[in-house]
Structure 1
Amino acid sequence: MHASSPTPETLTDIDVVIIGAGPSGSIAGSLLHQQGKRVIVIEKQQFPRFSIGESLLPCCMQWLDEANMLEAVNQAGFQFKNGAAFRYKNQYTDFDFSEKFTPGPGTTFQVERAGFDKLLADTAAKQGVEIRYGETVTAVDLTGKPKLTVIDANGETYLIEAEYLLDASGFGRVLPKLLELEKPSNLANRSAIFTHIRDNIDDKKVDNRPFDRDKILISVHPENKDIWFWLIPLGPDRCSLGVVGEPHLLGGSELSLEGLLMDMVNQEPGLKRLLADAEILRECAVLKGYSANVSTLATNKFALLGNAGEFLDPVFSSGVTIAMQSASMATDCLVRQLNGENIDWQSEYAKPLMRGVDTFRTYVEAWYDGRFQDVIFYDAPDNKIKQMVCSILAGYAWDEANPLVAESEKRLNLIVELCR
């Protein structure tokens, strides 16, 4: 006779299980803990761990403040950021986020995500949030109360039964995969090749203009406006560098990733000059087909946060902003549900969240079809319109008082006609 396997331990008496300890998971955990809810965060990896998406938007600072994490971030020594600069051939324009239409923070940071994400998770843990690292969710059962099957860091299986699940697993997309919620994005299939560099820019100039370390630099390929580059300062001599385009536009497979990236960089004369002495500090990586969507964002048993639900495109650095905004909105609904209210997750979470996501989507699509690039590089912008555009670039995509948010497609097309 075979000995029967021991029944896995089941943890109960838990209000919320959060899958993932990235920015949305840490902030959601903090906000729920502040409201007296019992939270466990399950994180597959050990922190610090590399993640792409280093350029925060000023809108994020509100959610860090709400989660009592702003002081820790302000004191961490991250690279200051006050705007975004765009370059195409000999055209250069920049946006100072303090000169925006929407009230709220106007500055933020560029961050190495390994350290930033660990700082947020450590701050949540100091506040009392339990985070379990090196653990993997392998199954989910929603027939009764949400129940997760988890393999711990020692390879042992246990179960957690909770009142609610939040998926903050980012590109891991745990619940979309386990519950078969994934559906294709309507955005084109693009790839990003990226690395970190010691830039050695020193006093190099492009068009007699020194490199502004307080801004992300977005450079458009001179021959193909579908291809663009990011250069994100991470400190006095370090940058995150990446190129984005449809895979067939990023060169042949005979080159290494490093060869592909530097070959593309050398096709953009401004970047070629700035980065003539750059040294690559970490192995180049590629993110393919990153745009994602789902059939369901939330029910009365689970909600998807940030990239676990939908990821658009890195062009306006909206990923962390959407992650933090979703954490704030979902936890507000969840606290009310746990306190006995009936919540309509579609009308109270999914639709309000998607209003901002769809605003970003309008400008992402218009970036690639050229309309928004025409607005960005227009050489005589109306100051009020520039402030409205600046608000969106600063992450305030939920501000319905901004006409470029409230009727994004219609108003954008009006501005495009004026610029053209």
Structure 2
Amino acid sequence: MNTENQHYDVVIIGAGPSGAVAATLLVKHGWRVLVLEQQTFPRFSIGESLLPQCMVYLEQAGLLDSLHENAAPLGFQFKNGAAFQRSGEHASINFTEKFSQGPGTTYQVKRADFDKCLADAAQQQGAEIRYQHTVIAYNNLVDGAQLLVKNQQQNEYQVTARFILDASGFGRVLPRLLDLEQPSDFPVRSAFFSHFKDGIVDESFDRNKILINVHPIHKDIWYWLIPFSDGTASIGVVAQPSRFAKNAEPLVCLNDFLEQDPFLAQLLSRREAIGDARSISGYSANVKSLVGNNFALLGNAGEFLDPVFSSGVTIALKSASLIAPLVDRHLRGENVDFVTDYSKPLQAGVDCFRTYVSAWYDGRFQDVIFYTEQNHQVKEMISAILAGYAWDTDNPFVKQSERRLATLVSLCQS
């Protein structure tokens, strides 16, 4: 065992989007930052459809130029909205027509390449990243924390830091080590997904939008179709586990569900799977607290809702943007109330997303989306939320999400 104790100002667990953005922001403040990543990059990850709000946080970190420069070579698809289909009903949201100020366009990205792009840029700006290094133990110190780390040769060593950020995503390193996990109040759902050569020849299909498709019989089952610029797409289906056959082979299961919807079956009749399909179940998660003594949880390491409106990366980047200046102040000796200044503001946007995700599954928000006599101003407010601006409290549908949505639903269903 290597007992040499290495010291950094901040150690970040995970080199995904929130880790890369937090690392870059903290390096800009002059701090010595180490990122410990369990895997090697590029590596597969789900969550390919970004929201325009993401572009704000990437620009803050100085990572936006790298994204733009690499978009075309990596097959990233320009995105300006979302399209919806339900048993022949069609609707769309244009993110450039929204209530909130800020970007209205973004990209649909292959996460393996996107995450590596951000991590590489973070390294170029001064963050140190160690791949295939796994955090296996955490010890709280008066002035920071000590981590026990195992490298790719299975050798163990110790690292201390004045502050720890957990950006490990679904790995949820600190929640597991510190017994912070608690059940999500969302029902357990499963997703089956893969990348395909989509073979779409329908000229009316808009590749600039994610397609969210409702199952023709069961309104709680939905599909995503995320096109990329090279003729491939990420395709998946989400439902409660009881809807899927036990021990189902992922690609067989996914193709079976695609054939159940006449619109998708026709649109994707020429599809060819690229590699293996995958499945994930019980991904919704929560924690007892997002912060503790000298640590904070970012993105999915804290709470993950559901993939339906692609909020995961947005929440992750928002968390990095919120936490970095607070950690900077903390390291400079200021008193920082991380609950008031980080947990509560972050949770406010998450709770707004939760309102619309919950209403999607019970069908109420679907009725709003497919309502034919839409008020333009209201639609712009809803567009802003679906574009990721869930922290803009000038938007009445953010500030009073439950009450405003309930009123809107009653009008659409009357």
Interval of TM-score (by shorter of Structure 1 and Structure 2): over 0.9
Whichever residue aligns with residue 181 of structure 1, its letter is: L
Q: Percent identity?
A: 54
Whichever residue aligns with residue 341 of structure 1, its letter is: E
What's the offset of the Cα at 1:75? 1.3
Rounded to whole Å, the distance in 1 between the matches of 2:188 and 2:292 is 29
**CA deviation map 1:290-332 (0-9, x unaligned):** 0000001012410000000000000000000000000010112
Partner of residue 319, structure 1: 312
Partner of residue 367, structure 1: 360
* Gapped regions of structure 1 (runs ≥ 5): 1-5
Q: Does 1:93 align with 2:58?
A: no
Whichever residue aligns with residue 237 of structure 1, its letter is: G
Q: Does 1:52 align with 2:46?
A: yes
The aligned runs of 1:219-298 (5 Å cut-off) are 219-250=213-244, 252-253=245-246, 255-298=248-291
Runs of 4+ in 1 over 6 A off after TM superposition: none
Secondary structure at 1:33 match in 2: helix
Partner of residue 178, structure 1: 177
Rounded to whole Å, the distance in 1 between the matches of 2:344 and 2:293 is 15
Structure 2 CA distance for partners of 1:417 and 1:31, relative to 1, 3 Å: same
Preserved contact between residue 17 and residue 39 of structure 1 (Cα < 8 Å): yes
Preserved contact between residue 192 and residue 278 of structure 2 (Cα < 8 Å): yes
**CA deviation map 1:86-131 (0-9, x unaligned):** 0001110001100000000000000000000000000000011100
What's the offset of the Cα at 1:236? 3.5
Secondary structure at 2:260 match in 1: coil
Preserved contact between residue 318 and residue 360 of structure 1 (Cα < 8 Å): yes
Secondary structure at 2:292 match in 1: coil
Rounded to whole Å, the distance in 1 between the matches of 2:229 and 2:376 is 31
Match of 2:205 among 208, 211, 214: 211
Secondary structure at 2:411 match in 1: helix
**CA deviation map 1:199-231 (0-9, x unaligned):** 1112x26xxxx1100000000001000000000
Preserved contact between residue 33 and residue 39 of structure 1 (Cα < 8 Å): yes
Partner of residue 196, structure 1: 195
* Gapped regions of structure 2 (runs ≥ 5): none
What's the offset of the Cα at 1:7? 5.9
Preserved contact between residue 232 and residue 240 of structure 1 (Cα < 8 Å): yes
Secondary structure at 2:82 match in 1: strand
Whichever residue aligns with residue 346 of structure 1, its letter is: V
Secondary structure at 2:390 match in 1: coil
Whichever residue aligns with residue 29 of structure 1, its letter is: A
- Between stretches 234-243 and 305-314, larger displacement belongs to 234-243
TM-score, normalising length: structure 2: 0.97
Partner of residue 153, structure 1: 152
Partner of residue 302, structure 1: 295
Secondary structure at 2:275 match in 1: coil
Whichever residue aligns with residue 369 of structure 1, its letter is: D
Preserved contact between residue 300 and residue 345 of structure 1 (Cα < 8 Å): no
Partner of residue 3, structure 1: none
Preserved contact between residue 10 and residue 161 of structure 2 (Cα < 8 Å): yes
Rounded to whole Å, the distance in 1 between the matches of 2:287 and 2:306 is 15
Preserved contact between residue 58 and residue 64 of structure 2 (Cα < 8 Å): yes
Rounded to whole Å, the distance in 1 between the matches of 2:324 and 2:125 is 17
Partner of residue 123, structure 2: 125
Q: Does 1:415 align with 2:408?
A: yes
What's the offset of the Cα at 1:49? 0.4
Preserved contact between residue 149 and residue 158 of structure 1 (Cα < 8 Å): yes
Rounded to whole Å, the distance in 2 between the matches of 1:279 and 1:135 is 36
- Between stretches 354-363 and 148-157, larger displacement belongs to 148-157
**CA deviation map 1:133-188 (0-9, x unaligned):** 11000000014321000012222111111100000000000000000100000001
Match of 2:337 among 344, 361, 365: 344
- Between stretches 67-76 and 188-197, larger displacement belongs to 67-76
Partner of residue 139, structure 1: 137
Rounded to whole Å, the distance in 2 between the matches of 1:41 and 1:70 is 20
Q: Does 1:35 align with 2:34?
A: no
Rounded to whole Å, the distance in 2 between the matches of 1:236 and 1:87 is 23
Partner of residue 9, structure 1: 4
The aligned runs of 1:44-83 (5 Å cut-off) are 44-76=38-70, 77=72, 78-83=76-81
Rounded to whole Å, the distance in 2 between the matches of 1:140 and 1:155 is 17
**CA deviation map 1:216-270 (0-9, x unaligned):** 00000010000000000012410000000001113x2364211111111111111
Secondary structure at 1:16 match in 2: strand
Preserved contact between residue 2 and residue 156 of structure 2 (Cα < 8 Å): no
Secondary structure at 2:102 match in 1: coil
Rounded to whole Å, the distance in 1 between the matches of 2:275 and 2:46 is 12
Partner of residue 395, structure 2: 402
What's the offset of the Cα at 1:369? 0.9
Rounded to whole Å, the distance in 1 between the matches of 2:342 and 2:3 is 34
TM-score, normalising length: structure 1: 0.96
Please provide the CA RMSD for this pair. Answer: 1.0
Rounded to whole Å, the distance in 1 between the matches of 2:153 and 2:363 is 52
Rounded to whole Å, the distance in 2 between the matches of 1:99 and 1:300 is 43
Rounded to whole Å, the distance in 2 between the matches of 1:63 and 1:300 is 26
The aligned runs of 1:17-28 (5 Å cut-off) are 17-28=11-22
Rounded to whole Å, the distance in 1 between the matches of 2:36 and 2:2 is 21
